[in-house]
Amino acid sequence: AALDADPRITDFLVLDDAADELLDAPPQRVLLCDSYRGLSDPLIQERICLWLINGEPNASFASVLRTSMQSDFAPSTGRTAMNHTFLFIDAEFTSLEDPHMISLGVAGSDGHEYYGERTDFPRGRCSAFVVSEVLPKLGHSYGAPGSLWEIGERLQNWLSPISGRQLIVAYDYVDDWRLFISTMPESSREWFVPVDVRLEACGEALDEYLGRPGVLRHYAIDDARALRHACESWTASMQS
């Protein structure tokens, strides 16, 4: 769908050979897919979206993140010179097996933030871990509580000033992305490009942020801030 919708692409060819069966080295504009899932593979769909933004079909998420965020976090502006913005997200949900959103935190690369707590989530489906580690942290943020519909409405209003930009959504767990995008109407979902940054964000910087006084683990907005901090630190290390 992403290839069909892009006016710059007039034609493309799907090859059903495995990469090691190609007679020559794959051309630069070949995107290698899992042989069983092909273009339906979510990872491949993400890479196609990044290809359309970055112009490199086989660029790693790391290189896209590095290239984009070096502009995104320019000290002189605080904003990217390119026509996109990063949104670092975290969602708390009922359980790994049956995820229903409980709360959502979004930390923008421009410093703006959004946080919402759902009041109509199915409490009976919460795991023991969620009951002990997530639920006690709710109810302490003014203006955050609301129904799932209200959380989505507020998030859309929060995003409206940057609705003309390409919004790159960075996450470290795929259900965070799925819950985030489920709050968006179908008509606006094309604004968002998901990027899995778990490899770039893992490590000392994430743990250091989450270990700071007053920062709460498994509290969506603090976890989103930690993800942003970890990616900033990773980007700085790539520049040094």
Q: What is the pLDDT of residues 10-35, one digit of tens each?
A: 555 554 444 444 444 444 444 445 44
pTM of this structure: 0.70
Task: Tell whether the torsion through CA atoms of 218, 144, 89 and 174 is positive or negative.
Answer: positive
Tell me the two tokens of residue 36.
């069983």
Round the average pLDDT of the chain to a whole number and report it.
76
Digit-coded pLDDT (tens) for 189-206: 877 888 888 777 777 889
Q: Please tell me which residue, 230 or 52, carries the higher pLDDT value.
A: 230
Digit-coded pLDDT (tens) for 222-235: 999 999 999 888 87
Helical packing angle, 42-54 and 61-72, nearest 10°:
40
pLDDT at 133 over 90: yes
